[in-house]
Amino acid sequence: MAVDLLLGLQWGDEGKGKIVDVLTQKYDVIARFQGGPNAGHTLEFDGIKHVLHTIPSGIFHPSAINVVGNGVVIDPIIFKKEVDELAKYISNIKERLVISRKAHLILPTHRLLDAASEASKGKAKIGSTLKGIGPTYMDKTGRNGLRVGDIELNDFEERYRNLANKHVEMLSHYNVDIQYNLAELESEFFEAIAQLKTFSLIDSEEYLYQAIKAGKKVLAEGAQGSLLDIDFGTYPFVTSSNTTAAGACTGLGVAPCHIGEVFGIFKAYTTRVGSGPFPTELFDEIGEKMTQIGREFGATTGRRRRCGWLDLVALKYAVQISGVTQLMMMKADVLSGFDTIKVCTSYSYQGEEITHLPYNIEEQNVTPIYTEMKGWKQDLTSIKQYEQLPKELLSYIEFLEKNLEVPITLVSVGPDRTQTILR
Query: Residue ranges for the binding site for Mg(2+)?
Result: 13, 40
253 binds ligand GDP (CB under 6 A): no
Which of ligand IMO, Mg ion, ligand GDP, none sits in contact with 239, Cβ below 5 to 8 A by type? ligand IMO
Which one of the spans 7-15, 80-88, 239-247, 345-353 is the region binding ligand GDP (CB under 6 A)? 7-15
Tell me if 8 contacts ligand GDP by CB under 6 A: yes
Distance CA 197, CA 111 (A): 22
Judged by CB, which is closer to ligand IMO: 41, or 316?
41
CB atoms within 10 A of CB 77: 22
Binding residues for substrate: 299-305
Residues 288-307 that bind ligand IMO (CB under 6 A): 299
Write down the H helix ranges in 264-304. Answer: 285-293
Clarify whether 41 is annotated catalytic.
Answer: yes
User: Do 182 and 164 touch, CB atoms closer than 8 A?
Assistant: yes
Q: How far apart are CA 45 and CA 281, in angstroms?
A: 31
Looking at the Cβ atoms of 38 and 109, the one nearer to Mg ion is 38
Binding site, annotated residues for GTP? 12-18, 40-42, 305, 331-333, 412-414
Residue 273 within binding range of ligand IMO, rule CB under 6 A: yes
How many other C-beta atoms are found inside a 10 Å radius of the C-beta of residue 90? 17
28, 42, 125, 399: which one binds ligand GDP (CB under 6 A): 42
Least separation in angstroms between CB 176 and Mg ion: 28
**Which pairing describes strands 326-330 and 259-267: parallel, antiparallel, or unpaired?**
parallel
Q: Does 126 bind ligand IMO (CB under 6 A)?
A: yes
Helix (H) / strand (E) element for 420: namely strand 420-422
Q: Kindly name the residue from 4, 13, 21, 114 that is annotated as catalytic.
A: 13
- Report the C-alpha gap between 312 and 259 in whole angstroms: 25
Distance separating alpha carbons of residues 308 and 370, to the nearest angstrom:
12
Task: Work out the end-to-end distance of the chain between its first and last CA atoms, rounded to an integer number of angstroms.
Answer: 24
- Total residues belonging to the chain: 423
Closest to 46 (Cα-Cα) out of 34, 60, 32: 60
Residue 52 beta carbon to ligand GDP: minimum distance, rounded to whole angstroms: 8
Residue 217 within binding range of ligand GDP, rule CB under 6 A: no
Between CA 39 and CA 55 the distance in angstroms is 10
Identify what 413 binds: ligand IMO, Mg ion, ligand GDP, none; CB under 5 to 8 Å per kind: ligand GDP
The footprint of Mg ion (CB under 5 A) covers 13, 40, 299
Q: Given the DSSP bridges, would you call strands 326-330 and 408-412 parallel, antiparallel or unpaired?
A: parallel
**Is residue 12 involved in binding ligand IMO (CB under 6 A)?**
yes
Please compute, for residue 274, the number of CA atoms within 13 A of its CA located in the half-sphere on the CB side: 23
Binding to ligand GDP in span 324-383, by CB under 6 A: 330-331, 333-334
Binding-site residue positions for IMP: 13-16, 38-41, 129, 143, 224, 239, 303
Least distance to ligand IMO, CB of residue 59, Å: 15
Catalytic annotation, pick one of 41, 80, 102, 217: 41
Nearer to ligand IMO, 8 or 69 (CB): 8
| Minimum distance of Mg ion from residue 42's CB (angstroms) | 7
- Using CB under 6 A as the binding rule, whether residue 13 contacts ligand IMO is answered as yes
What is the distance between the alpha carbons of residues 19 and 326, in angstroms, rounded to a whole number?
13
User: For residue 28, with 0-12 CB atoms within 10 Å meaning exposed, 13-18 middle and 19 or more buried, which class applies?
Assistant: middle
Helix, coil or strand: residue 299: coil
Burial class (CB in 10 A: 0-12, 13-18, 19+), 180: middle
Out of 18, 110, 131, 140, point to the residue binding ligand IMO (CB under 6 A): 131
3-state secondary structure of 73: strand
- Contact with ligand GDP (CB under 6 A) among 5, 15, 98, 105: 15
What is the phi/psi pair of residue 208, to 5°?
-70, -35
Catalytic entry in 53, 102, 131, 140: 140
285 three-class SS: helix
- Among ligand GDP, Mg ion, ligand IMO, none, partner that 56 touches (CB below 5 to 8 angstroms by kind): none
Active-site positions read 13, 41, 140
Which residues form the interface with ligand GDP (CB under 6 A)? Answer: 8, 12-18, 39-42, 44, 294, 299, 330-331, 333-334, 412-415
Which residues form the interface with ligand IMO (CB under 6 A)? Answer: 8, 11-13, 35, 38-41, 126-129, 131, 133-134, 223-225, 228, 237, 239, 273-274, 299
